[in-house]
A = this chain, B = another copy of it.
Amino acid sequence: MTRTVIASATREVVIGDDRPFVIIGERINPTGRKLLAEEMKAGDFSRVERDTIAQVEAGAHMLDVNAGIPLADEPAILARTIQLVQSLTDVPLSIDSSIVEALEAGLAVYRGRALVNSVTGEEERLERVLPLVKKYGAAVVAISNDETGISEDPDVRFAVAKRIVERASDHGIPREDIVVDPLLMPIGALPTAGRQVFRILGRLRDELKVNSTCGASNVSFGLPSRELINGTYLAMAMASGLTSAITNPLAEGVRHAVMAGDVLMGNDRDAGRWIRTFRSVPVDGEQGRRINRRRASQPPPG
């Protein structure tokens, strides 16, 4: 079993095929959230605070932190956001930026063992990000695209992931510190997107023996009842080998699908969490839904 350990100063999260699925909260991200972007740029972090608390209360095991705001000082804002989030919660963080200087600024202030999000198979990215990951003793998300873009061929995407793992090894980063993102396209645009990813996930688990993650909210882009598609996708991906996801823990449908997935993968011991959460819930009732919301807040797995 490959285990990836991410930590804050006081708490560890382990990603692995024999562990409960790790939900990485996606909300602290100004991309597509105009109001949040304006507030963060102006130095108002009240919404970040609320998003932090709400996601942890909803059961997020980790939080992704992104400060990608056009025409702003992203390294400074990302570092400040990370310090703020770490003052509010002890769940470990994923430091998310496409700007290497921002990743470095975030790593410099982060207390613990971060997940760097991300490196791709592009030569220039590999040679800039991997030394940083090594320097700070972090783990890293490896996105399976390269200079040629995102291949629709699952075997090509797998080959890119394999090359990143090999290059990381050259930098002294072991495979257990690589979490591969196989890149999920919206299913409405590409009907084979799901099958492609399920196929890659199986090979990542069985052949490359690495953990995996996925931005799991865009699969339903453009479709109605998105939460139901996203939750179902996550369960299907879990069966195929997915061990973590960057998604919205506030979505009950997503949370419940992941909890059921843990039971069915044998990773909720004696179905203990499932039984504690649902045993007194009346079927379909209003009271039931209220009870669910309260009980579904879970401490992160150890």
Contact = CB atoms under 8 A, between A and B. Distances in A.
A229 B265 contact: no
Interface in A151-207: 187-188, 191-195, 198, 202
A232 B264 contact: yes
A228 interface: yes
Interface stretch (A61-69, A76-84, A107-115, A233-241): A233-241
A40 to B, nearest CB: 28
A275 interface: yes
B224 A274 contact: yes
B266 A224 contact: no
A189 to B, nearest CB: 10
A281 B223 CA distance: 12
Contacts of A279: 224
Given A232-B264, A264-B219, A224 B281 contact: yes
Contact of A191 (B193, B240, B266, B281): B266
B223 A187 contact: no
Secondary structure dominating the interface of A: helix
Contacts of A233: 260, 264
A165 B229 CA distance: 35
A229 B281 CA distance: 14
Nearest to A17: B195
Interface in A241-262: 256-257, 260-261
A225 interface: yes
A232 B257 contact: yes
18 contacts: A191-B270, A193-B266, A195-B265, A195-B266, A198-B239, A223-B263, A223-B271, A223-B274, A224-B275, A225-B274, A225-B278, A229-B260, A229-B263, A229-B264, A232-B257, A232-B261, A236-B261, A237-B239
